[in-house]
Amino acid sequence: MIQRKNAAGRIHLLVARVVVYTILIFLSALCLFSFYLLIVNASRSNAQLQAGFSLLPQGNFFTNLKNAWNDASINIPRGVLNSFLVAGLTAVLTTYFSALTAYGIHAYTFRGKKAVFTCIMAVMMIPPQVSAVGFVQLMTKLGMTNSFLPLILPGIAAPVVFFYMKQYLESVLPMEIVEAARCDGSSEFSTFNRIVLPIMKPALAVQLIFSFVASWNNYFIPALLLDKAEMKTVPIMIAQLRSADYSKFDMGKVYMFILLAILPVLIVYIFLSRSIIKGVTAGSVKG
Amino acid sequence: MAKAALLRSHRMAYVTLKNVKKIYPGKVVAVQDFNLEIRDKEFVVLVGPSGCGKSTTLRMIAGLEDITEGDLFIGEERMNDVAPKDRDIAMVFQNYALYPHMTVYENMAFALKLRRAPKAEIDKKVREAAEILDITSYLDRKPKALSGGQRQRVAIGRAIVREPQVFLMDEPLSNLDAKLRNQMRAEIIKLRHRIDTTFVYVTHDQTEAMTLGDRIVIMKDGFIQQIGTPQEVFNHPANVFVAGFIGSPQMNLFDAQLRKDDEKYFVEVAGASFALSERIAAKLRRDSEGEVIVGIRPEHIRICAQEGDDTMSAAVEVSEMMGSEIHLHLRAQDKEIVLRVNTTELPEAYRAGIPYGTQLHFTFPGDLLHLFDKESQKNLIGE
């Protein structure tokens, strides 16, 4: 009787696993399919791409790479470097200052704390497109067009990242740890940098990736502010290639450039993903 | 011995709290009119039920809570507005509060690093403290790889290396299991002799308070109920609350009538009449008859073979075998009475426990009774 029950349980478990894995494989394939298609398309010539859809790679990969690299209208290394600089600094600033703000709101009690929190949350509701016109005007008046600063510095105020950090802090940071640091003689700022930040590592890694990718892909504001060739970022360059006139238009080149453009993001992801998984706070307090 | 000397603080670290009051926003009063002088190298335990303000008081000494009114002195210096890091105190928290990303060694060295102590000195102090606490083999581990008891040792070690003027401990043993708690309690007693500094210890456990403290401060609802040595608070509780709080199982308390007859005092409880001893009668703070609360500790009740004027009778409801003793819960006219009986004093047949429903006769020795005023709840017997 018990044996039969065990056998039934095993079959049940097996079926459940098959179903779960099938769904997971399907979803993974769905995610990876667009990458596969990008690689396939990067290996096809413009004519082949115009002819229609194909799942098989063709032999034009290196031709496309050479064409893209040698395109006179764009400077791929420069674009990648620009994007890397902007996205990297934005990600670091966004993450650090959001964590700092979140810590301030989480750890301190002060008059008007709720109002400050509500205010930050309210900013979250305003889409960047709404404030873009005013922002571009302001930057033009300040003479800050064709500068990376207006793309990097506003990253300091990122309500969504702040909110994420605050929620994370609430779940992982017992105030006793902060108090222990205070008793140990640590200043408030040093407590944040030496104790709180390392505890927040998984959240920092997640937000570094998100902010980096968001900034890397950002086309809207950079397109409004940057027009010098040597300042252009990757998304502007891709758009430029796409809108090239008929005689120069080469979709293979565009796909190749997109493929090149996602590589740094992948590298950043691989580099940071290890710390996302790690639960660093386990064991700090009784739980 | 050299180690102990090294870790010993030579400053005079007495702590004085004068009319200290803590009011939280929303007018929640946590601590009321707290007056206490803690002597240099004294071990004082703040004890009371949850919400009594003991932790708040400790946190005010640490500087983690603002003092609403009153003054706090450590040594000669008024500390009300001094930041925790400048008070020269060390605190051990209930939840250990170890830095999770640092190894045990780094956790213990953190405070010294902040002080920019030389590396060799840091290493020496950390290793000495680790040896005292028997955690040397865990120095390279992260807190998550340690058990609860080991983590609490690290937390204590982190405090020791700093050689603070005042050592604050906020329920450090509450998260440990019973066996480990007993073991750590003994460790703390040993530690206290080794590092010989001023200790303020908070607990809700009266056993910890009794075993650790030179003096105990019993608190309730933000007010100090009594300050005294373990013996004083046990033998002479200031009021009904202290009487019930200190001692396990807790003191039996009954409504009673105080009667004077021929210069002798009697208390009448549920029909029985118990004469007060001359010693107690002489110390009685009032001479009028009337309602009182009488208290007797479970271990002081004597079982009698026969019924008499000075005996009560009740049936056994629960018999708890504790090994060397039995705790008997009896019920007599709606009153629960707890007796603590040494098994060796019982007839052979009863040594494994007394059956449910067994009728027992018992008396209260007149020299071991506690009398409290019915209204003020204060002890009626002078010290």
Both B226 and B78 in one domain: the answer is: yes
For residue B153, the enclosing domain spans 2-238
Give the residue from B238, B178, B239, B242 showing the smallest Cα distance to B206: B242
Both B115 and B11 in one domain: the answer is: yes
Both B211 and B328 in one domain: the answer is: no
A174 and B95 in contact by Cβ < 8 A? yes
Which of B82, B89, B96, B173 is the best residue to mutate to test the A interface, defined by the most A CB atoms within 10 Å of its own CB? B96
Both B78 and B216 in one domain: the answer is: yes
**Which pLDDT tens digits describe chain A residue by residue (287 residues)?**
567 778 888 999 999 999 999 999 999 999 999 999 999 999 998 888 888 888 888 888 898 888 888 887 888 888 989 999 999 999 999 999 999 999 999 999 888 999 999 999 998 888 878 888 889 999 999 988 899 999 999 888 889 999 999 999 998 899 999 999 999 999 999 999 999 999 998 889 888 888 998 999 999 889 889 888 889 999 998 888 888 776 778 888 889 988 988 888 888 788 877 766 653 443 444 43
In a domain, B103, yes or no: yes
Query: What rounded mean pLDDT belongs to chain B?
Result: 90
Both B303 and B226 in one domain: the answer is: no
Q: How many CB atoms lie within 10 A of CB B251?
A: 22
> What is the C-alpha separation between B94 and B112, in angstroms, rounded?
22
Both B180 and B289 in one domain: the answer is: no
Chain A: which residues have CB within 8 Å of chain B?
174, 176-177, 179-187, 190, 195, 198-199, 201, 280-286
Which stretches within chain B are classed as H helix? 2-7, 54-62, 104-114, 119-133, 148-160, 178-195, 206-212, 230-235, 240-245, 278-283
Both B157 and B60 in one domain: the answer is: yes
Both B124 and B259 in one domain: the answer is: no
CATH code, domain carrying B87: 3.40.50.300
Those residues with Cβ within 8 angstroms of residue A165's Cβ, 6 or more apart along the chain or in another chain: A98, A99, A101, A102, A103, A200, A203, A207
Both B61 and B86 in one domain: the answer is: yes
A180 and B85 in contact by Cβ < 8 A? no
Q: Which residues of chain B have pLDDT under 50?
A: 1-9
B97 and A176 in contact by Cβ < 8 A? yes
Share of chain B above pLDDT 70, in %: 97
| A111 neighbourhood in chain B, CB within 8 Å | none
Tell me, yes or no, if B98 comes closer than 8 A to chain A by beta carbon: yes
> What is the C-alpha separation between A260 and A270, in angstroms, rounded?
16
Minimal-distance CA residue of chain B relative to A196: B99
Domain spans in chain A, listed from the N-terminal domain onward? 2-62, 66-277
CATH top-level class of A66-277: mainly alpha
In a domain, B119, yes or no: yes
- Measured between alpha carbons, how far is residue A107 from residues A100, A104, A116, A185, B172 in Å? 10, 6, 14, 17, 23
Q: Is the peptide bond before B143 cis (omega within 30 degrees of 0)?
A: no
A284 and B111 in contact by Cβ < 8 A? no
CB-based burial of residue B269 (10 Å sphere; 0-12 exposed, 13-18 middle, 19+ buried)? buried
CATH code, domain carrying B272: 2.40.50.140
B99 and A174 in contact by Cβ < 8 A? no
| B103 neighbourhood in chain A, CB within 8 Å | none
Give the residue from A84, A69, A18, A114 showing the smallest Cα distance to A257: A69
Both B187 and B332 in one domain: the answer is: no
In a domain, B68, yes or no: yes
Which positions 114-173 of B are in contact with A (Cβ < 8 Å)? 114-115, 142-146, 148, 151, 158, 162
What's the domain count of chain B? 2
Angle at CA A255, nearest 5°, toward A253 and A257? 70
In a domain, B380, yes or no: no
In a domain, B275, yes or no: yes
Out of B183, B203, B238, a domain closes at B238
> Distance, in angstroms, between A156 CA and closest chain B CA?
26
> What is the C-alpha separation between B147 and B160, in angstroms, rounded?
20
Helix (H) or strand (E) segment spanning residue A87: helix A76-107
Look at chain B and count its residues: 383
> Distance, in angstroms, between B111 CA and closest chain A CA?
5
| B84 neighbourhood in chain A, CB within 8 Å | 179, 182-183
A185 and B151 in contact by Cβ < 8 A? no
> Distance, in angstroms, between A120 CA and closest chain B CA?
24
Out of B238, B271, B304, a domain closes at B238
In a domain, B170, yes or no: yes
In a domain, B244, yes or no: no
In a domain, B378, yes or no: no
B144 and A195 in contact by Cβ < 8 A? no
Give the pLDDT confidence score for residue B2 in this predicted structure: 41
Out of B238, B268, B284, a domain closes at B238
Name the amino acid, one letter, at A272.
L
Instruction: Count each helix (H run) and each strand (E run) in chain B, helices first.
Output: 10, 20
> Distance, in angstroms, between B96 CA and closest chain A CA?
6
Both B222 and B270 in one domain: the answer is: no
* Complex ipTM more than 0.85, yes or no: no
Both B203 and B316 in one domain: the answer is: no
Tell me, yes or no, if B63 comes closer than 8 A to chain A by beta carbon: yes
